[in-house]
Structure 1
Amino acid sequence: MSAEKKVKKNCFIYSENGAAGCSCCHHDSRFVYEKKWYKNRDFYEIMLGTIVFVTAQWMVSYSSLYQLILLIMAYLILGREILLAAVTNILKGHIFDENFLMSIATLGAFAIGEYPEAVGVMLFFRIGEFFEEKAASNSRKQIIAAVDMRPETVLLLDENDTARSVPAEQVKLGDIILVRPGDRIPLDGRIVEGSSQIDTSPLTGEIKPWDVYSGKDVLSGCINKSGVIKIRVEKILEDSMVSRILESVQSASANKPRIQRFISRFAQIYTPFVVGAAVMLAVIPSLITGQWHTYVYIALTFLVISCPCALVLSVPLAFFSGIGAASRQGILFKDGAAIEALSQVKTAALDKTGTITQGVFAVQQIQTYNGFSSDEVLRLAAAAEYASVHPLAGCIVKAAQQLHLAEKRASTVREIAGKGVVAEVEKEEIVAGNLALMREKGIDVENAVEETIVYLAVSGVYAGCIIMGDKLKDDAGTALKKLQQLSVTAVMLTGDAEEGALSVAAKVGIKKIYSKLLPEDKLAALQKIRYENGKVLFVGDGINDAPVLANADVGAAMGSGADAAIEAADIVFMTAKVTAIPQSIILARSVRNIAVQNVIFALGIKLLVMLCGILGYASLWSAVFADTGVAMLCVLNSVRILYKKYI
């Protein structure tokens, strides 16, 4: 790409789709590209204007006429663009922007004979804008560069297993691609051949290698560290993780935070007000005292101070920097409004399965009765369940295989929908299933409970039960403690049975649970929590969570969850870690604090310099600092969001 055309100075271009704009300059913030020479035009104009200005100052001892001519030349070199922009905006009905204010102030200085100061103010204004614009532009480029991991080409394997380089956008679903050691995984998919270790730090920010092998899903953006792997493409480029990250950052302005909307409305009222105040400041005291020169100069200073660009620039940049920083930590905010809302939540409502737990059932415990051993119960259950497609059956078989107990298979199997299986193993009738199946077969089950349990009977004799459970995520306990430290109350909303929900809640320290909830029940529970506690964050991962995610004040989806949940959410935790929840809250609060700091600092300095200007203690030079200088400091304050650590 060639250089970026400057549509209007002092505005942070933070959206490529034209959705965002600057209230002080009234442009649509689109990216337009021109020839490379345009990139340095500001620099050349400033240098030339400076040379002419210095020459004019040197000419003062020779000829005042020549000095005036040179000062006018310097002013036109430095201010031509400002004057043209002011006229253009006035013709469009946009009067009160910084171009108008600077034009009136410097032309007014010419009118009262302050020629060198008029040119000097325009010079330093241009210098300040130049560095301010560079800082904002570089910040955006750094953020985009940090999150843009889209591949240009991919090694596509044909039917003869020959690799050829093709553009990434040409790869289709089901294609097989080759990823060599050291390469970045270009597209989301599933490994079909090979094994390796991958570095997920580009997505998660955590430097920790992960072992992957055939059958494992991998995300684009990760780096293949060791072996050659072949991946079947599950998502094309525009739907892959690397594209979602970039889209999230680029669409940061789609829904503006309330503080940003307030600043935009404030600037539209504030600027005309101070222009009117400046007119009265110039006219009324001058009519009384007759000191037109003094009070017109004070009024001109007042006008320059009033430019609101530090406000309208720094607030969106703070939120944009926050979105970029979050993306580098594996947290995708879909817009700035989500950050602002998250910074204010006091309650986090969490789904259980797939959010607090891994969403993968495994054998937790085996209870035995009537002389049977745990190995016998597991071996016979695996033999009976071997052909079943039920998820719990697969967990039992896997557990038996790990203990080398799955060598036998049933000779006959009859599956009873919703209840279990009846099979023949080693000439014994094996009944494996839920409590309803046991009762149907007339088998007396001891200590029966309504949990996720597979009961086993051998030839009519109760042999024992296999208790299944969903494993907690390793970081669940740590994350919930951190939420407590942040004064955020955790509540569990789950469709699971009460016993299982209570068990998980006790392990992680959640005191309030809502169990056995259908999707509409979850929504009702969420509304009740919101009514009692205020703004609520809901975190889920299933298709059934989509309505709740869409209706929550802030909806967050685990990146490993269903596409419907990810689409409905305001935030996506790509790592699917529970610690991403407190991490995102800390980041959101930090972003909002910095945005508020910028507003207070910018308004405070402006009001102070305005007061000094009214009293006659501020010059046009200090007014320029109160505009561009303050804006630059606010930009630097916003950018530090990128370099802070969040947990």
Structure 2
Amino acid sequence: MQYHIKGMDCASCVGKIETALARLPGVSDIQLNYATEKLELTLAHDAKTQSHDIEKTIKRLGFDISDSTQSKSTTDMESDKPLEPEHWWQSRKGKQVIGLGLLMSAAYIIALIFPDFGMWAFAAAVIIGVFPFARKAVALAMTGTPFSIEMLMSVAAIGALIIGEAEEAAAVVFLFSVGELFESIAADRARAGIRALASLVPKTAILLDAQGKQQNVAAASLQVNDLVLVRPGDSVSADGVIIQGTSSLDDSPVTGESVPVSKTIGDDVFAGSINIDGVLQIRVEKTAADNTIARIINLVEQAQASKAPTARFIEKFSRYYTPTVMAIAALIIIVPPLAMGGEWATWLYRGLALLLIACPCALVLSTPAAIASGLAVGARRGLLIKGGSALETIGRVETVAFDKTGTLTQGEPRVTDVIAFTQEYSISQHEDFQGQDTHVQDAQGQNEILALFASVESGSSHPLAKAIVSHAEAANIVIPIASNASATAGKAVHATIAGRLLAIGSPVYAADEAVISAKQQTQIETLQNEGKTVSILFDEQSRTALGLVALRDELRDDAFEGVAQLKAMGVNAVMLTGDNRLTAQALASSLDIEWKAELLPEDKLRLLNEMKNNRKIAMVGDGINDAPALATADVGIAMGGGTDVAIETADIALLKSRVTDVAHLIALSRATMANIHQNVIFALGLKGIFLITTILGITGLWIAVMADAGATVLVTLNALRLLRFKGTNSRIKLSKVN
């Protein structure tokens, strides 16, 4: 049986539902994924449990459930999801937070105007606010989870209300509701990443019948061996193989390759790739449910399901804290009067004081207050951190894996070298330059060669062509007007300039069409060994090679500093890329880091899983192909200038796209965790002291109130210290985690 469950926001929700369902007779093989809100289970045919029992149990726990037994492909399921999910204030949790906020505001106003009725106003707010949590706590207790965080909060709020601290009880309920809402928002953002992935594959395709007639059909309807037409500018509608045509394809959504790849008959193509300059006929090899993008979606879902976020500290602690405190309070109220003849009123007073001291207000605040300050500091620097779990975990990572294209590099090719092979055309016919020194003539030759390159490429939309033209324009070089421009798809571009037939092609193509000397070949190979893409300009009539332009996606300006900061903090850096080995080796050598190249998304995923066996690891990327790796790493970090999919899938987004911000994140996390540890010591330390003094009768109810309030103030003030955190200039940046 398959269900869609709404309201699962974390691994804790999964545990509660699994515990409840496991108690139902005949239910087995329970599989839950909170990221995709899916539940699968097996129900025995002869079981007493019926489907309505399953639905009733889950609804009683506070979750919405709907039947989705009809099997659908991943792509179909994603298309069923609303393109515009509800805003947080439209959700049940959002309405609850808004309602509680209004109730507390009204209570404060009443308390100011009518002091005698203030307590009753806060009491009403507490009763209304705690009711849904108390009902859920009872349901959880009845289904096998008696000491849930809902139980802890409900007992604390009701206990504070009984003691007469209605205002504090209202604050506990409100803060807990806000925390639940933030958790829900973070989960919805993760799901938005999966929806964005599904949108990459075009919804329609051009199907060719046996007579070559074209028909627009839904891409999801394509079957294996169908023939489809892909025009220049179109996205490839299915995984397949080229049976006719040659073109350059932008495979960056799948492989991360920074430069479009020339493909021809017999080559594989991926769904979601962009066809640049040729008309292709493709035979479909995989259906929509099994294409490359669908596989990436599946990888993201699996990674999000297997990545259990660090359980909230209060959730763990409540397993022992709640029953222990309740048992101690009950014993203090009952045992002395029965066993030692004590006065019931005295020991009831002490038991209630103990409950007040045990009220976890300071403890509840200890973690979220520090996390809120840490998130605020990060936001000021342009770090979008999606929740406390990510902020906590990033400080413990030992290795940071970087994608190359758009992460360590600028994300687009740039001209690095311009070499004029001959001065026959450019220098000899300019008398003004005769007699000038060699350096001046070389510079003039390079400028004229660059002008010719830009002229021939001026009509092309290829990324390499755009880079060449932009480079010439930036150098204020006059670009001659070209005529008769044409292209040999995937191989070369041609144009006539001042009566000469010129062409630009790859070194392999140029070697077939022009004469390349040994010296020129050496220059070409040297540049290629540096990871650069080389284009050759040649005269088609005389078959003379005139010059070359080399391009490469260069490192970001702060890449060296960012990697150096990580090393200073004891964090290892490694580069994982789908780009070619020569480019990867050249750039990694400059940064002095480890590297792996020519990786598909599943390769990155495999390497990350291997590295995760014995250490915490973060992944930094910006492309669609990085989404599974971002999801499976302990912390996924996306560059803000990258794709929406990467940003949505990642736990953290670097909105200013700075490599140095990764080190800042780690430093901020370590400072935040140190603050949290201090807060917990403050909260538990004060409570421990006054628990003892209350039991001994040394301190009374008003001291208990002051102790709890004092712990809350200390925790809050200490958390606010984080707002002064200065980042990687701080002394804490070099501290290593043992």
Contact map agreement 1:129 1:628 (CA 8 A) in 2:
no
Counterpart amino acid of residue 319 in structure 1: I
Contact map agreement 1:490 1:510 (CA 8 A) in 2:
no
Counterpart in 1 of 2:606? 524
**Which of 697, 703, 724 is equivalent to 1:622?**
703
Indicate whether 1:544 and 2:622 are aligned: no
Distance 1:452 1:569 in 2: 31
CA deviation after TM superposition for structure 1 residue 437, in Å: 0.9
Counterpart in 2 of 1:343? 395
Contact map agreement 2:575 2:596 (CA 8 A) in 1:
yes
Distance 1:285 1:269 in 2: 24
Counterpart in 2 of 1:97? 155
Matches within 5 A, 1:81-480: 92=135, 93=138, 97-102=155-160, 106=163, 122=164, 125=165, 258-260=310-312, 262-267=313-318, 269-292=320-343, 295-371=347-423, 373-444=445-516, 445-447=520-522, 448-449=524-525, 450=528, 451-458=532-539, 459-480=542-563
CA deviation after TM superposition for structure 1 residue 443, in Å: 3.0
Distance 1:89 1:370 in 2: 82
Contact map agreement 1:332 1:574 (CA 8 A) in 2:
yes
Counterpart in 2 of 1:188? none
Counterpart in 1 of 2:301? none
In structure 2, do the counterparts of structure 1 residues 77 and 536 end up closer, same or farther at CA, with 3 Å as the change threshold? closer
CA deviation after TM superposition for structure 1 residue 516, in Å: 2.0
Contact map agreement 2:353 2:704 (CA 8 A) in 1:
yes
In structure 2, the residue corresponding to 1:349 is in which secondary structure?
Answer: strand
In structure 2, the residue corresponding to 1:521 is in which secondary structure?
Answer: helix
Distance 1:339 1:17 in 2: 27
Cα root mean square deviation, aligned: 3.8
CA deviation after TM superposition for structure 1 residue 20, in Å: 6.6
Contact map agreement 1:132 1:631 (CA 8 A) in 2:
no
Counterpart in 1 of 2:593? 511
Gaps of 5+ in 2: 1-87, 139-150, 180-306, 425-444, 729-738
Gaps of 5+ in 1: 1-14, 22-26, 50-73, 107-121, 140-254
**Which of 606, 623, 634 is equivalent to 1:553?**
634
Contact map agreement 1:545 1:565 (CA 8 A) in 2:
yes
The farther-off stretch of 86-95 and 300-309 is 86-95
Distance 2:170 2:600 in 1: 57
Counterpart in 1 of 2:55? none
Distance 1:16 1:611 in 2: 44
Question: In the TM superposition, what whole-angstrom CA distance separates every residue of 1:414-444 from its partner, at most 9, and x where no partner exists?
Answer: 3222222233333334232212212322532
In structure 2, do the counterparts of structure 1 residues 566 and 86 end up closer, same or farther at CA, with 3 Å as the change threshold? closer
CA deviation after TM superposition for structure 1 residue 513, in Å: 0.8
In structure 1, the residue corresponding to 2:471 is in which secondary structure?
Answer: helix
CA deviation after TM superposition for structure 1 residue 574, in Å: 1.4
Distance 1:393 1:638 in 2: 53
Distance 2:616 2:660 in 1: 20
Counterpart in 2 of 1:40? 109
CA deviation after TM superposition for structure 1 residue 482, in Å: 1.6
Distance 1:409 1:88 in 2: 77
In structure 1, the residue corresponding to 2:727 is in which secondary structure?
Answer: coil
CA deviation after TM superposition for structure 1 residue 306, in Å: 1.5
CA deviation after TM superposition for structure 1 residue 286, in Å: 4.0
Counterpart in 2 of 1:590? 671
Counterpart in 1 of 2:45? none
Matches within 5 A, 1:471-510: 471-507=554-590, 509-510=591-592
The farther-off stretch of 287-296 and 77-86 is 77-86
CA deviation after TM superposition for structure 1 residue 563, in Å: 1.9
In structure 2, do the counterparts of structure 1 residues 34 and 263 end up closer, same or farther at CA, with 3 Å as the change threshold? closer
In structure 1, the residue corresponding to 2:396 is in which secondary structure?
Answer: coil
CA deviation after TM superposition for structure 1 residue 577, in Å: 1.7
Counterpart amino acid of residue 603 in structure 2: D
In structure 2, the residue corresponding to 1:617 is in which secondary structure?
Answer: coil
Counterpart amino acid of residue 156 in structure 2: E
Distance 2:515 2:721 in 1: 68
In structure 2, do the counterparts of structure 1 residues 377 and 269 end up closer, same or farther at CA, with 3 Å as the change threshold? same
In structure 1, the residue corresponding to 2:672 is in which secondary structure?
Answer: helix
CA deviation after TM superposition for structure 1 residue 510, in Å: 3.7
Contact map agreement 1:82 1:103 (CA 8 A) in 2:
no
Contact map agreement 1:349 1:491 (CA 8 A) in 2:
yes
CA deviation after TM superposition for structure 1 residue 37, in Å: 5.2
Counterpart amino acid of residue 446 in structure 1: Q
CA deviation after TM superposition for structure 1 residue 338, in Å: 2.0
Distance 1:562 1:596 in 2: 36
**Which of 591, 607, 622 is equivalent to 2:688?**
607
Identity score, percent: 34
In structure 2, do the counterparts of structure 1 residues 470 and 86 end up closer, same or farther at CA, with 3 Å as the change threshold? closer
In structure 1, the residue corresponding to 2:482 is in which secondary structure?
Answer: coil
Contact map agreement 1:85 1:99 (CA 8 A) in 2:
no
Counterpart amino acid of residue 495 in structure 1: G
Contact map agreement 1:419 1:436 (CA 8 A) in 2:
no
Matched residues, number: 467
In structure 2, do the counterparts of structure 1 residues 597 and 437 end up closer, same or farther at CA, with 3 Å as the change threshold? same
Q: Given the two structures, how large is their TM-score scaled by the length of structure 2? A: 0.56
